[in-house]
Structure formats: C-alpha cells, structure tokens
Amino acid sequence: MKAPGSDALPAFVLRLPHGAYRSLNPTTKAVIAFAEAAVAFAVRGWTGPIAVLVVLALTALVAGIGRRMVPFALATIPLVISILLVNTLLYPGATDVIVRVGPLAPTWSGLAAALQATLRVIAFALSAAILGLTTPTDDLLSDLERRGLGRRATFVIGSAIRMVPRMRERAGEITDSQRARAMDTEGGLLRRMRGVLPLAGPMVLGGLTEVEEQTMALEARAFSAPARRTTLRRLQDSGAQRGLRWVLFLGTLAAIAAEVTGHLALLP
C-alpha cells in the first residue's frame, strides 16, 4: 500500500514498515506500551504484571523480536537483585520468617512482594523494548509532531530515547581512541577501574559539545520558527487503530480507578 503522493518521494523517505505489529501506527504502539506499563504497576498483586507479561510475550512472537528482547531483560538484573534483597530482608511488618541467618531474617511476605515488584520492572522494561525495537524513533517523533505535539516536547522525547544508545556509541568511540593511544582498557578489575576516569572526562565534554552542535543545527533549520513544519509522509493510520487507542487509554484509566477504589481486591 502506497502512501499519498508516494510517487514523488524516494524509497528511503517512504520506508514503510512491514509485519502485523510493525505496521501499526507509531502512536498506537506508544499507547500500547503506556497501557501495558500502567497496568503492570497500577494493578496490585500478581494479576497485573503476569497478564502484561503474557501480552508482551505474544506481541514479541508476532513481531518476531523474541531474541532481541533478551538484552533488555538482562539489563534489569542489577535492579532486580536490589529489589529481592531489600524486600525479602527488610519488608516492614512481616513476621513469617523463612529462616534466620544471624541478624538476617528473610520473610515470605517480603519475598512475595519482591517477586511482584520484579515482574513489574521486567514488564515495564519489555514494553519499552518492544516499542523501541518495532518503531523507528524518527517515525514516532514525526507522527507525534504531526498530531500537534510541540516541537520542543518532541525534541525532549527524542533526546531521551536516543540518549542511552548514543552514550554507548560514544563510549565505544572513546575506548577505541584510547586504545589507539596505547591505553590498557582490558584485563583485570583494577585496570578497568583505572580506565574509568580517562573515559568519563571525554564522555562529559563530548556530550556538552554535542548538545551545542545540536542546538546550532536546530536553529539553522528554523527550530524556533512559529510556522508548522511540513510532513513529507503520513504514516499509516486507520479508524480501527484510533478506536483501539481510545479503548486502551480509557480502559487503563478504568483499571487504575477500579484498583484505587478497591473493586479489583478479589484478584490474586
């Protein structure tokens, strides 16, 4: 299916996504990710996060990105470990001790709360991962701006999304340049710790320089101009997707309201 006026645009500008999930409108996928994260955190107990994880697994299967989500799940390990330790050992008011190990007394209530919090963290991470893996950032920002989101807000969202990948890329560039200058960045823990300072300095200075360059580039492209920018291509959308977005948005609000008022108290 060709977009309106596609004959006048080169193929690299069109870049229409393919696949049952990838072809959804970027805003639709963003609303889905928001609804999944909100339900995982808002609905207490096991029901919310487990239901969201099931939906995420089916979505990843349909989109064909199951293996690519593994690094995102692994990235939550440090936070998961801290959640398990703090809640299991220091859960307030818990008396159902599992076993006493000196001054430490892990409890079943704390362990249950820790596992529920772990599922919520993983659900949030994977919902963001699916959005990032199936939606080009430029498409999402272009669609949000076309729908009326201010360009400053669009720039902030885009910068936040690109921040971590760009920092990893810059760290790799700095590490390679330091190696070319005969700095030992490999080996044992002490050697790696000694290499942090030479890496941190260029990272900070490079980040400040990049912000200045981006500011100058944006101003050169009339970032502050009051007129609305022209969108070269309109991403696919439909009445069904618009209805789905409203259903997800209102359904999420209804779930949060039901949880707050205690109507979901019977759920496990």
Tell me: the pLDDT tens digits for 5-23?
Answer: 445 555 555 566 677 788 8
Total H helices, total E strands in the chain: 11, 0
Q: What is the mean pLDDT of the chain?
A: 80
DSSP state of 104: B
Q: Classify residue 5: in a domain, yes or no.
A: no
Residue 106 lies in a domain: yes
Residue 135 pLDDT grade (very low, low, confident, very high; cuts 50, 70, 90): confident
Q: How confident is the model at residue 189 (pLDDT cuts 50, 70, 90)?
A: low
State which residues form the domain around 188: 150-228
Contact (Cβ atoms closer than 8 angstroms) between residue 51 and residue 39: yes
pTM confidence score:
0.74
| Other CB atoms within 10 A of residue 16 CB | 15
Confidence of residue 173 (pLDDT cuts 50, 70, 90): confident
For the segment 137-168, what is each residue's pLDDT rounded down to a tens digit? Answer: 888 888 888 887 777 787 777 777 777 667 77
Q: Is 16 domain-assigned?
A: no
Same-domain status, 241 and 128: yes
What pLDDT, on a 0 to 100 scale, did the predictor assign at position 49? 92
**Same-domain status, 96 and 155:** no
Could you tell me if residue 4 is inside a domain? no
Judgement on whether residues 218 and 241 belong to the same structural domain of the protein: no
- Tell me what percent of the residues of the chain surpass a pLDDT of 90: 24
Check: CB of residue 85 under 8 Å from CB of residue 110: no
Asked whether residue 40 falls in the same domain as residue 74, the answer is yes
Q: Which of 46-50, 121-125, 202-206, 235-239 has the lowest mean pLDDT?
A: 202-206
pLDDT at position 76 is 87
Rounded to whole angstroms, how far apart are CA atoms 148 and 154? 10
Domains held by the chain: number: 2
Find the helix or strand (DSSP H, E) in which 61 lies. Answer: helix 47-63
Residues 206, 245 within the same domain: no
- What's the pLDDT at 267? 65
Q: Which residues contact 73 (CB under 8 A, 6 or more apart)?
A: 122, 125, 126, 129
Examine the domain organization and report whether 65 and 112 are in the same domain: yes
